[in-house]
Amino acid sequence: MSLRHALLAALSQGEASGYELAKRFDVGVAEFWSATPQQLYRDLERLEQDGMVSARVVEQSRRPNKRVFSLTAAGREELRAFTRRPAKPPAMRDEFLVQLQAVDLTDPGAAVEAAATRRERARQKLAGYDQLRERMLAGRGETEFYAESSQVGPYLTLMAGRMYEQLNIRWATTVIETLTRRGESAPAADGE
């Protein structure tokens, strides 16, 4: 029961429609909680029924109307209560690591390609995060920012995302180099 909380946390940064939240969750900011659009729509419904968020229809001229959600007092209270409870340990699901675990019984070429894909993805994510960071800092240094801003939370989670992608880049590079070097010296493990 925790996408609900992720949604509340996202809405604590300001109101948004389901579609906008879907983009945030699918693409970028929320590197730490993944969800598909369908989940969002479903859980927003439920949050509304539970009185945690309220929806307001915004009519648009040459676009479909949208329902913009914002936190209610109850929602804010629930979010506060959540932040005081101990957090569950993080859970990861990484198919590429599963594939790599079994690399010794396959063609390492596929793994090298997959690592390159991973690295490229990480670079793009990192670039996105860096832009966001510039916008948040708005010309100030980190120390100034910490003193002035009321957005320390989002900044710290953004830093987590940045560090994570930097790690991905470094690590993927190691994987590529290691497997490539092996492929050269040993003539590849063909068959069993």
Please give the residue ranges that form the binding site for DNA (CB under 7 A).
Answer: 1-4, 17-20, 22-23, 34-39, 41-45, 60, 62-67, 91, 93
Taking the complex as a whole, the smallest distance from the CB of residue 49 to a second copy amounts, in Å, to: 21
For residues 141 and 131, give the distance between their C-alpha atoms in angstroms, rounded to a whole number: 15
| The one segment of 15-23, 44-52, 132-140, 183-191 that binds a second copy by CB under 8 A | 183-191
Kindly tell me which of 121 and 137 has the beta carbon lying closer to DNA.
121
User: Which residue of 87, 135, 141, 184 would you call a contact of a second copy, by CB under 8 A?
Assistant: 87
Cα separation, 25 vs 59, in Å, equals: 24
Binding map of a second copy across residues 32-51, x = CB under 8 A, - = no contact: xxx-----------------
Which residues fall within 8 angstroms of residue 1, CB to CB, at 6 or more apart? Answer: none
Angle at the Cα of 176 (from 170 to 182), degrees rounded to 5? 135
State in angstroms the smallest separation of the CB of 48 from DNA: 9
**Alpha carbons 182 and 114: distance in angstroms, whole number:** 16
Residue with Cβ nearer DNA (18 or 108): 18
Nearer to a second copy, 41 or 82 (CB): 82
Nearer to DNA, 39 or 72 (CB): 39
Inter-residue contact 175 to 97 (CB < 8 Å)? no
Task: Specify whether the CB–CB gap between 163 and 69 falls below 8 A.
Answer: no
